[in-house]
Structure formats: structure tokens, C-alpha cells
Amino acid sequence: MSKVAIIGAGFAGHTAAMYLGSALGKDHEITMINMSDRFLYVPSLVWVGIDRMDPEKTRFPLKSVYDKMNVRFVQGKASEVHPDEQYVIAERKDGVAGTVRVDYDYLVVATGPQLNFKATQGLGPEHGNTFSICTQAHATQSRDAYLENIARMQKGEKRRLLIGTGHPAATCQGAAFEYITNIHKDLVRRGVRDKAELIWLSNERSAGDFGIRGVHVKQNGHMLSSEDFISAVFDEYDIQWMVQKGVKAVDSKTAYWEDYEGNQGETAFDFAMLIPQFTGMDMKYIGKDGQDVSNKIVNAAGFVMVDGIYGLDYEILAETPEAWPAVYQNRNYRNIFAAGIAFAPPGPISVPHKTPNGTNITAAPPRTGMVSGIIGRIVAKNIIDLVQRGRMTHSERMSEMSAACIASMGDSLWDGSAATIMVYPVVPDFRRYPNEEGRDLFVTHMEMGLAGAWMKRMIHTTFMHKLQGRVGWQLIPE
């Protein structure tokens, strides 16, 4: 009997657990270790953050799903991995003191990100200066603070709302973009849009870069860039926008930043939602003699090193699509895999930039949502292969992977809207697509309209169906 342990029940880990349990659970031991007893559908937290969705509609209990899938569930925080002796130690989070030992033959690290607020002085809800929509608790805090600002606007006060990224190397610009456009629509709906000054502040090289080097599509015989697309939205919604800026510190009223040229500046606000830097989760990797073996498994940021090619200069990396991992397997411990945000990318997708002061202002590669789900499936299928056949047969690099992003601009199915962006491949491949974008211009697509709002709501419903393991869940793509 083989034992498979998964750490983290986000998109990647939960997807992997479902496939593993469905295929192997009756004859082998599949164990999920997760701090919470609930799955959280993070993309819909943007609606929670403006009081347009009940937080409970974004989550569901995990154990009942895992019971159906023949997956053992341990509610706990993985604190130690012992790769030589093949077990994980988890601190229990189910109300009982102590730890749990989980043995494994195969380990999937799918922890998602650690929200590294401390990397930016004064950032985050802990200080009360800025807010976040990265967790359910953070989204409800953002909602409450946002509603306080609404109340003041309804009394006639003017307010400055700052949305974007809170670190020079932050990712997840898409979530912040979705939040600011939803705020615009909500302010219009509440009749106080004229009382609000909306400001976008980002570390992107250009508006619409999103950490993937931007997007270009052919429309009516002309090339349209995501910069054109997103900046047009900002102009239409009267949103001030600033890019090429890395936030270095914040206080209760001001964000302090450095720009590409090394200039120092500041932006005042009354309310701010700034996405922090993401790093890997804190876990100890302990060898058989008690020595620290983390350098064999994770990089300096705590992400798991897999079968990518690391250390390439960006110019070489951009011309080497095979540098991106294919099976997400650690090279030193071949029974350890990483999925979703937990794996270490070989470098940025977007063109990096270092200021004259030495500050690296570069949008980090996104590995959330659809990308996480796909990688979770690939890892699960390969472990199934190894258990049943002794060899892996599945692979998919981000330079071979398509991804869709639907950024809602209001949740109404009658007068809402959404920006729908389809990208193939996520990482440009200039060998297969020798155009200036390195992408398939037939597949890559952008549009905006009411249909996207319907699609966004439909995806919420269908994914909540899929991720609860209901009838036909495997037919719904990641």
C-alpha cells in the first residue's frame, strides 16, 4: 500500500487530493493536511470585500468531500518535513493540543503563499494601515473598512481609495484590478462615485502586464495590447493609475514608493487595499541526522525547487521555454512534488527591472486559479502513474499551458461587466510563435462586456460544484 500526503487544500492541493482519492483511495492511503477545515474559493473574495457576497458562499467543509473521495483529513499546520525518513509533522488545529505524524511515500507541497506583509514596513491589517482580500478574514476586514468609508461619503465627505500592490515584487495584480473596478461599480450603485477618488498603484511595467509580460491580441486586423485595454478601462471609470512603482513602506495615511528611475514618492489615501509579497510557507526540512536540508528542497523565498532550470539570466530564460518545470518534481527528493504557488518558478515572466538604487521592481509570476488547478491535476496523475505503473506519463509546462482570467467589473447579471482574457501559452514561447509576443494570436483573446459577468458567476457556481466532488466533477476542466 502506498501513502500519499498533501499539504494544503487550496486549488492545487484540493484538486490533487480529489484525483488521488478517486483513483487510489480505496487501496492506498491518501492524507490531506490543511490548517482550516474549510475550502476557500478565493476568487470570489473580491465580492466579499465590497459586501456583495456572503463570506459563507465562498467556502465549504472539506471532510465530507474527502470522505467521499477516500481521503483522510488532518486539520493541522505542517511544521516539519523529514524527507529522508518520509514523514510530516503537523501541529493540530482541530481544538486538540499536540502534533500528528503523517508518513508518506509521495508528498505534494501545495501550501499556497505566505502573505509576507512584514516585507513592507507598516503593510497589512495587523497594523491597521492597509487591507487585503487574500483570505476570508482579510476580505471581511476590507469590507468593514470599505463600508465605513461609504458611510462617510454618504454624509458628503470626499475619500481617497488606493488599490494595487504593496511590494516591489508582488504578484496577483489581477485580483487588485478586479477589486478596484468592482469598487467603482459599487460606488456608482450607491450613488457616491463623485465622492471617491480611485487610485491604482502597481509594480507592473505597464498597465495590464499582470506579471505575464502583458497580452497582445488581433482585433479587426489590428493589434491591441492589454495596456491599451486596461488603461481604457481606467480612463472610462475615472481611475487614476500609476505603474512602475514599488511600495517600500506605508503608514495610516500614506504609501511610500520608489519608481523605475529610483525616485522616491508618496501617495496619500483614506483606504488602501494593497496585495503583499508572496513567499513560501515556513516549514522546516530536516534530514535523517537532524540537519537542515532545506537547501535541497526550497529556494531562499521558501518555494519548492522542482524540475525547472534555475539561475538563467532573463534574456536566456525568455528564449528557453523548457526552463519551466514539466512535472513539478524535486530533483533531490524524487518523491516530493509541488503544485500551485508552492513551486519555485525559474524566474519572472515579465521583463524585470532594477532601479539605480538596486531595488528590483518586477511583477512575480502568477500561479493561482486555473494554473494551480492544472498543476494539481498533473501532479496527481503522475503520482497515480508511479503507484500503478512505476513511471510518469503526464507533463505540462507553463510555456505550454493556457489560462483564462475573468475580472468582474460589478457583479450584476443585468448591467455588470467583466474583462475576459484568454492567454496561450502563459509563458511566451518565441520558438513556436515567432511573433513579438511569443503567443498564439488565434487563441489569445481579450474582450469586455456583460457576457463576462455571466461567465464569472457561472464559474463560481460550477467550480463550487466541482470542488465539492459532485456528480460529473471530473468533466469540469480546471
Q: How far apart are CA 74 and CA 12, in angstroms?
A: 17
pLDDT number for residue 112: 92
pLDDT number for residue 408: 81
Q: How far apart are CA 190 and CA 429, in angstroms?
A: 45
pLDDT number for residue 219: 79
CA dist 42 → 2, 24, 26, 136, 390 (Å): 32, 28, 30, 8, 35
pLDDT number for residue 287: 97
**Intervals of the chain under pLDDT 50:** none
* Residue written as grid cell 497589512: 124
Q: How far apart are CA 230 and CA 409, in angstroms?
A: 12
**pTM, two decimal places:** 0.96
Contact 240, 200 (CB under 8 A): yes
CA dist 40 → 54, 97, 112, 234 (Å): 13, 25, 12, 30
pLDDT digits (tens, 9 = 90+) for 243-275: 999 999 999 999 999 999 999 999 999 999 999
Domains and CATH numbers, the chain: 3-115+278-388 (3.50.50.100)
Q: How far apart are CA 17 and CA 385, in angstroms?
A: 15
Q: How far apart are CA 426 and CA 37, in angstroms?
A: 32
Contact 103, 151 (CB under 8 A): no
